[in-house]
Amino acid sequence: MRQMKVEEKEKEKKAKFQMNDHIDILIEVLKRLDGPSLGVAACVCRLWCTLTRSDSLWEHLCFRHVSSPPPSSVRPVVVALGGYKRLYMVCVRPVLSRLRNSDSELVWTRDEVQLSLSLFCVDYYERRLGGGATSASSLMFLCNPVNV
Amino acid sequence: MKFCAVKQYFDDENNNNITSGASTTMIPLPNVESHPLAILITYCKKHLKIKANNADNKKETEKEMEQYEQELLKKVMPQELTELILAANYLNFKEALDFFCRAVASAIQNKSIEFVRKFFGLESDFELGEEEKLREEFAWSFEGVDED
């Protein structure tokens, strides 16, 4: 009897503190995840999937390690070219995963931001013109690892 | 006063000219349990103490605070972190909220979908085939995920 009461109390407590009832807090936690963990989060449940579809989370991820974030005028351009999730996947993630091997703390300056945005533009136009990332003349090779 | 919600309560009281002694005023906190509140009070006191001790040296403050935070995390159960976040959010205690969100994020960083579900007590509410599609879309996130 006492065991049941304890279990019921635990269940009640659990029901009281459901993270999914507090979306703003859930977003605060998701904002602090890295890219792959955000991908895992998207597969947890429907609510999390919807939240991770929000481009603002990926925008935060793209420029989290930047010393001074790009101006807000960049946003409509990125959205028009395919959105922050695509920017992360195509331009930011490949570079970050290579730099991760170094021990120093990662901080991007304006130069790295501008390079990734430029490559993003290149990616968009190559897709539009039908060149594709696989063609030999694509500039997107700059995002791929190089065997030196 | 770090607990902004409590500060607000005091400010409102002053505005209403209620003449009750500050030391005997009872502040209702219906959404905060005693256990997380106790931890938050200790955290706050420690934070203020460290700040006072290292008034000129910001780096020293950060270092000491980090050490204290690491020790604290060892004592707190992972599932208690959700309660702590909700309490810090209700009390509008920004530093603690940031810290505990980071703690939860690092607890689920690089973990599998099942681990995250178990951590938050969530269940999959996807339709048949929906989860499969998502796992394909985010296949790149599952490389190098920690063992459960």
Check CB contact under 8 Å for B138 and A40: yes
pLDDT tens-digit readout, B47-69:
888 877 777 777 777 788 888 88
Cα of B23 to nearest chain A Cα, Å: 31
Residue A110: the pLDDT is 82
Residue A98: the pLDDT is 72
**Strand extents, DSSP E, chain A:** none
**How many angstroms separate the CA atoms of B69 and B76, rounded?**
10
Residue B36: the pLDDT is 80
pLDDT at A9 > cutoff 60: no
**How many angstroms separate the CA atoms of B50 and B54, rounded?**
6
**How many angstroms separate the CA atoms of B87 and B5, rounded?**
11
Neighbours of B56 (CB within 10 A): 6
C-alpha distances (whole Å) from B16 to each of B9, B29, B91, B127 are: 11, 20, 21, 54
Residue of B133 and B30 predicted with greater confidence: B133
**How many angstroms separate the CA atoms of B39 and B85, rounded?**
11
Query: Which of B35, B37, B128, B140 is the best mutation test for A, with the most CBs of A within 10 A?
Result: B140
pLDDT tens-digit readout, A32-52:
998 899 999 999 999 999 999
Residue A30: the pLDDT is 93
Residue of B8 and A24 predicted with greater confidence: A24
C-alpha distances (whole Å) from A38 to each of A126, A141, B8 are: 28, 26, 35
Q: What is the DSSP string of chain B?
A: ---HHHHHHHHHHHHTT----GGG-----TT--HHHHHHHHHHHHHHHHHHHHTSS-HHHHHHHHHHHHHHHHHHS-TTHHHHHHHHHHHTT-HHHHHHHHHHHHHHHTT--HHHHHHHHT----PPTTHHHHHHHHTGGGGTTPPP-
**Three-class secondary structure of residue A29 per DSSP:** helix
Prediction pTM value: 0.76
Contacts of A18 in chain B (CB under 8 A): 120-121
Contact pairs from chain A to chain B, CB under 8 Å: 91
